[in-house]
Chains A and B, each alone.
Chain A
Amino acid sequence: MVEIDCRGLSCPEPVIKTKKTLKDNPEGLDVLVDDRAARENVPRYAEAVGYKASVSEEGGGWRVKIRK
């Protein structure tokens, strides 16, 4: 599964990167975030475009798993 590292980025960049990466990888991806707003906003985007999103803590940040 493709993974993108959005740690250190502030919104809306993690959402924009997720959107772009999802276009080329329609089966899904993992997004690493360490920003509170990104932790909320990336799943919102994924769900709005018809994916399922789950969030788990990882290394002081979060891993957002986006799947069909």
Chain B
Amino acid sequence: MADVRLTELVRSSGCNAKLPPGDLNEVLKSLPRTVCDRLLGGYEKSDDACVYDVGDGKVLIETVDFFPPMVDDPFVFGEIAAANALSDIYAMGASPSVALSLMCFPSCLDLSVMRSIMLGAISKTDESGCVIAGGHTISDREPKFGLSVTALADKDSVWTNHGARKGDFLVLTKKLGAGVMMTAHKGGETDAAEAIESMRTLNKRARDIARPLSVHAATDITGFSILGHSSEMADGSDATIYLSLGSLRFFSGALGFARFGFLPEGRYTNEDYLKDKVDFDSRIEKAYIDLLFSPETSGGLLLSLREEDAGKFIEEFGDDASIVGRVGERAEKSVVVSL
């Protein structure tokens, strides 16, 4: 088992493997709409999970996320895939209850690899207080793994990605650059230890600390990049989000790898979809723009809060989180990035 290199079996990895957002939207727009009064969130608002009203003031929150490996160690891959899937529930302000696993597994690999992936995932569901109740496994040439996760919550306690208010401060709870670091890692240029540690970290603590605060909007930063997820929040909230490059933090080495062209394909498909929605200060270096368009995997929570609550959050959460921007009245663009 020590010889297995999971990343050599796959063409793209992590949230880099997401279908381009433009393509996805084209299909979604063409589908018939089944009217369901109990469905409160969902893909019309591009939220992180769907919210189903079960009555008596309670809702079910459901999400699914799975992808090919971005690391060679199967246990760590299981941890990252689980942390990434659970994150959608934390982004809704909820606490995950029960999960089902989705496993695509090559018949050429030893079954101990599958066991390690599952053990990694279980370590994270245990940490989150969630239980894997079952799952589905199919034979596939490329390994893929993830979870469908369900949470039960009070209807009026759910965070959405579309309630940001003018004057809010934006807090981001993890560094950026995972997609670039993992592209360089795949090329053998770096061990990407800092990015891997970040990706396997649950957003549970961020959710727990933000829970008693007045969170107006929340989302997690994954395949559509900081710019994509910010623009969804801005559009849904009828606001413009102003990000300040100087306050965004990146993994050590990410800027250098971006300059050297270690950029995942998603960096370009994200720009195709977002270029008319985003404006940059013309003095910003190209490599930073590359980083901002690049997909993240198991990224942090982006929280829109009142200024004093943003301060309280940072004070308790610590230096891994920072205030990265603010929410303003809707202007022409969804997201404006200043130096």
Hey, which bits of chain A sit against chain B, CB under 8 A? 10-13, 15-16, 35-37, 40-45, 48-49
Contacts and interface: CB of A to CB of B under 8 A. Distances in A.
Chain B interface extent, by class: 10 to 19
Interface of B: 11-12, 183-184, 186-189, 259-265, 267-268
B12 A40 contact: no
Contacts of A37: 263-265, 267-268
B187 A40 contact: no
A16 B260 contact: no
Contact of B187 (A16, A43, A49): A16
A12 B265 contact: no
Contacts of A16: 187-188
Given A10-B11, A10-B12, A15 B262 contact: yes
A37 B265 CA distance: 5
Given A45-B260, A48-B259, A15 B265 contact: no
Contacts of B188: 16
B261 A48 contact: yes
14 contacts: A10-B11, A11-B183, A11-B265, A12-B184, A12-B262, A15-B262, A16-B187, A35-B265, A36-B265, A40-B261, A41-B263, A44-B260, A44-B263, A45-B260
Chain B interface, >50% SS class = loop
B268 A44 contact: no
A40 B14 CA distance: 21
A57 to B, nearest CB: 17
Nearest to B290: A44
Nearest to A36: B268
Contacts of B262: 11-12, 15, 41
A13 B12 contact: no
Given A12-B183, A12-B187, A16-B188, A40 B259 contact: no
Nearest to A43: B261
Contacts of B186: 12
A42 B186 CA distance: 16
Contacts of B264: 11, 37
Contacts of A48: 259-261
Nearest to A41: B261
A13 B264 CA distance: 11
Query: 7 smallest A-B Cβ distances: which pairs?
Result: A44-B261, A41-B261, A12-B187, A45-B261, A37-B265, A16-B187, A48-B259
A10 to B, nearest CB: 5
The listed residue with most B CB atoms (<10 A of its CB), out of A12, A13, A40, is A12
Contact of A13 (B184, B187, B189): B187
Contacts of A43: 261
A40 B263 contact: yes
Contacts of A15: 187, 260-262
Nearest to B271: A40
A22 B276 CA distance: 37
A43 B261 CA distance: 8
Contacts of A35: 265
Nearest to A42: B261
A62 to B, nearest CB: 14
Contacts of A10: 11-12, 265
A13 B8 CA distance: 11
A49 B261 CA distance: 11
Contacts of B259: 44, 48
Contacts of A45: 260-261
A16 B20 CA distance: 25
The listed residue with most A CB atoms (<10 A of its CB), out of B184, B260, B264, is B260
A67 to B, nearest CB: 17
Nearest to B180: A12
A6 B265 CA distance: 15
